[in-house]
Amino acid sequence: MKDYRKDFPILDQDETIYFDNAATAQKPACVMEALTDYYSRSNANPLRGLYDWSLRATEVLETARQKAADLIGAAAKEEIIFTRNTTEALNLAAYSYALNHLKAGDEIAVCISEHHSNFLPWQMAAEKTGAVLRFLEPGPDGRLTAEEIRAKITPNCRLAAVAQVSNVLGRVQPVREIADRVHEVGAVLVVDGAQSVPHMAVDVQAMDADFFAFSGHKMMGPMGIGVLYGKQALLEKMPPFLRGGEMIEYVTKDSASWAELPHKFEAGTVNAADAAGLSAAIDYLAAVGYEEIRQRELALTRRLMGHLKEMPYVTVYGSEDPAEHCGIVTFNIEGCHPHDVASILNEDGIAIRAGHHCAQPLMQYLQINAACRASLYFYNTEAEVDRFAQSLKKVRGALGYGS
């Protein structure tokens, strides 16, 4: 097996067992080099200057846009809007689309397991328009059933929002099936791809998403760039989200008209440096390959869940099948607060996430306050999984339990 860790300076220099990849992924050296290279050779304000450096910065930005379009199968690069992250992308869709297309009595269908970033924008849209939220509830295995999709996406639905992969349960949702129902009732579908793009091939046209959001930093890119994909016909009809430089066609004392897509939605100086990093991350991801990522993660998840099965005091949430976790395993240890578990593991140099995972409605649905989450990526190793299991076995003892 190739030792991917050598590509990641932080993993190569440090023994920390990093199992918080769903929060943010580590960066390979090529991504850092792309940032340094951009600032060393091409830095200028993109889209503005008529001199070489600015033209180069524009080219860097537009190359990244094409790569992002190709990565998710968008029909045209003009459908790719650069944002800071998934959160900003989803807010853009809520402020610009939902506030202008929804009215009192309409329904917004949201999955109960959504990250707050794909929840609060729709709560806001409901509050401001008088629309009503309806909640899709997954079965115990984390998946939305065909019956649930039909029941909750009613003829009054005008917008549905679901994550392709939950950041807590790791389950892949049947987004194409959801899209078919959403379109049958004349609504639009917003897909949160923050946890899918790092792990699996995505085709927005095949899934028929109307909007699709993801973050660069969760797929090994830099922290300051994300994407909102939108179908061109929808984006054309939407007003700008933020107003200012670079997004206008013409401005007078009391009116303005807007630039063409995608610039209408990219107000102010755009983030060409992180676009350079995102390009490098997309190339790196392609070089590793989604099939390799899937195989590595599956082997690691099987091993990790196998260890957990041997600990009778551990409850794992979601499916029992490691193949249905996308590398995310959320669990609790009987009698132990997740924060204590995470702190004890930290003493052994193991980084996991503990808390509500920005998914409090799901915590309420599962009738827990908090949970521990180990989230793996292809660069983790079997040895790390074994050390994690050894440490976990000590937790109850450290907290005063006999066994």
Are 99 and 129 spatial neighbours (Cβ–Cβ below 8 Å)? Answer: yes
Residue 274 touches ligand 7TS, criterion: CB under 6 A: no
Cα–Cα distance, 182 to 239 (Å, whole number): 23
Quick note: the x/- pattern for ligand 7TS over 153-172, rule CB under 6 A, is ----------x---x-----
Residue 26 touches ligand 7TS, criterion: CB under 6 A: no
How many Cβ atoms are within 10 Å of 5's Cβ, its own excluded? 17
Using alpha carbons, list the distances in angstroms from residue 17 to 13, 355, 374, 382, 393. 12, 19, 10, 11, 16
Quick note: the x/- pattern for ligand 7TS over 210-229, rule CB under 6 A, is -----x--------------
Residue 117 touches ligand 7TS, criterion: CB under 6 A: yes
Q: Which residue number, 57 or 372, has a Cβ lying nearer to ligand 7TS? A: 372
Residue 194 touches ligand 7TS, criterion: CB under 6 A: yes
Residue 113 touches ligand 7TS, criterion: CB under 6 A: no
Cross-strand bridge partners of residue 228: 81, 213
Task: Select the span of 51-59, 110-118, 153-161, 290-298 touching ligand 7TS (CB under 6 A).
Answer: 110-118
Are 215 and 86 spatial neighbours (Cβ–Cβ below 8 Å)? Answer: yes
Q: Which of residues 70-99 bind ligand 7TS (CB under 6 A)?
A: 85-87
Q: What are the start-end ranges of the E strands in 2-92? A: 17-18, 80-83
Q: Which residue number, 23 or 259, has a Cβ lying nearer to ligand 7TS? A: 23
| Torsion angle in degrees (nearest 10) through CA of 180, 324, 94, 239 | -60
Q: How far is the CB of 116 from ligand 7TS (least distance, A)?
A: 8
Quick note: the x/- pattern for ligand 7TS over 335-354, rule CB under 6 A, is ------------------x-
Residue 357 touches ligand 7TS, criterion: CB under 6 A: yes
Residue 118 touches ligand 7TS, criterion: CB under 6 A: yes
Site size with ligand 7TS, rule: CB under 6 A: 17
Residue of 7, 17, 18, 22 that binds ligand 7TS (CB under 6 A): 22
* Packed helices 382-398 and 338-347: angle between N→C axes, nearest 10 degrees: 120
Task: Give the tokens for residue 26.
Answer: 């580590």
Say whether 358 is catalytic. yes
- DSSP assignment of 137-195 equals ---TTSPPPHHHHHHHS-TTEEEEEEESB-TTT-PBP-HHHHHHHHHHTT-EEEEE-TT
Catalytically annotated residues: 358
